[in-house]
Amino acid sequence: MADPQAGQAAADGVTRIVEVGAKPETVREATAEAWLITTPEAVGRLIAGTTKGAPLETAKVAGMMGAKRTPDLLPHCHPLRITGAEVVVEPDEAAGRIHVTATVHAIDRTGVEMEALTAASVAALSLYDTAKAFHRTARIDGIRLLSKSGGRSGEFRAEA
């Protein structure tokens, strides 16, 4: 049988949640990003909040909710004790895009990369949900992990 601690697939092909009970709890942090690509006009409308209230603030809340609900969405994710999360939404009206970053913190036995990726994705989806009313070809791009720390695998920083 494959060593689940090494992140390998089970030899019997049966899906399972990796056993992490013997791993030490460590401070974990991960940051992810996503981009909403649209038009300068659409970004201006999102900034102004002309529909559905305050879309930029709503996206931040949606992202934090996404981080907390990650194990409900992804079958192999462990429920974690998230100690903090921040979602930053940075509109660039002239370029017609909005940059979303999400950072998640925990003290646990497994990392928070998926929580950060989910937070950034859900925040971008929230922005898309509002933008689609006036720009149907808006898209979400560039969802990726920017950095992570803690645990056995240590530090990771994505290339610029």
- Span 13-31, pLDDT tens digits: 787 777 787 787 889 999 9
Which amino acid is residue 55, in one-letter code?
P
Could you tell me the pTM of the whole model? 0.88
pLDDT tier at 10 (50, 70, 90 boundaries)?
low
Q: Report domain extents, the chain.
A: 24-152
- Span 57-94, pLDDT tens digits: 999 999 999 999 999 999 989 999 999 999 999 999 99
DSSP conformational letter for 110 = S
End-to-end CA distance of the chain: 38
Distance CA 57, CA 12 (A): 46
Q: Is 129 among the catalytic positions?
A: yes
- Active-site residue, from 3, 12, 108, 129: 129
Q: Which position has the higher pLDDT, 142 or 5?
A: 142
Top-level class of domain 24-152:
alpha beta
Reduce the DSSP state of residue 125 to 3 states and report it: helix
